Amino acid sequence: MKIKESKELKKLSESLKLTEGENSEIIINKGFEVELFVDSPECWDVSIIEHCVSSENHSSDLFKRCFDVYPSSTQWAWFRSLKTIGDGDCPECGGNLEIVDHNYKMVRRDWDSEPEYETISKDEECTNCGKRVFTGIDD
């Protein structure tokens, strides 16, 4: 589980003088420590404030546990809007992407060898939220 990349995560990280990765790791670890997060698909793409409401924790208390300071009003607004996602490839929820369609081109290195196939493009779909992701690969 991780925090979804967003402008709020970037701004919060800058204000706390942390990298986005460090910030995400701290929040997730503290959230698990206080049993705020459960790493399951139904808890992905959910904001910090929604996690806090469902578990009766206060988001400013979680912020204090994470960073040892009380947040400013803007930091608190950024923090509350952060979303948790899974560790997979889906840009929307962090679920796993499966290839549903792909295009190949045949490449023959020389006439004595078997032809090889290179991927030109692929269309993937998230097994959790259904988002489709198209990836074109340069020649």
Query: What 8-state DSSP symbol labels residue 41?
Result: G
**Tokens representing residue 46 in the block:** 């959910």
pTM: 0.75
55 vs 104: CA distance, rounded Å: 48
Supply the pLDDT for residue 82: 93
- C-beta of residue 36 within 8 angstroms of C-beta of residue 28: no
Provide the residue range defining the domain that includes 39.
2-85
pLDDT along the chain (139 residues), means of 10: 93 93 92 85 86 69 82 88 91 90 82 82 91 77
Residues 102 and 35 reside in one and the same domain: no
Q: Is residue 113 part of a domain?
A: yes
Number of domains in the chain: 2
Residues 76 and 53 reside in one and the same domain: yes
Nearest to 128 by CA among 59, 40, 68: 40
Q: Is residue 90 part of a domain?
A: no
Supply the pLDDT for residue 114: 83
Residues 52 and 117 reside in one and the same domain: no
Residues 46 and 112 reside in one and the same domain: no
Q: Angle, to 10 degrees, between the axis of helix 48-55 and the axis of helix 20-33?
A: 10
Supply the pLDDT for residue 117: 84
Residues 18 and 73 reside in one and the same domain: yes
Query: What 8-state DSSP symbol labels residue 4?
Result: P
Residues 62 and 111 reside in one and the same domain: no
Supply the pLDDT for residue 54: 67
- C-beta of residue 3 within 8 angstroms of C-beta of residue 9: yes
Supply the pLDDT for residue 108: 77
- C-beta of residue 121 within 8 angstroms of C-beta of residue 135: yes
Supply the pLDDT for residue 58: 67
107 vs 104: CA distance, rounded Å: 9
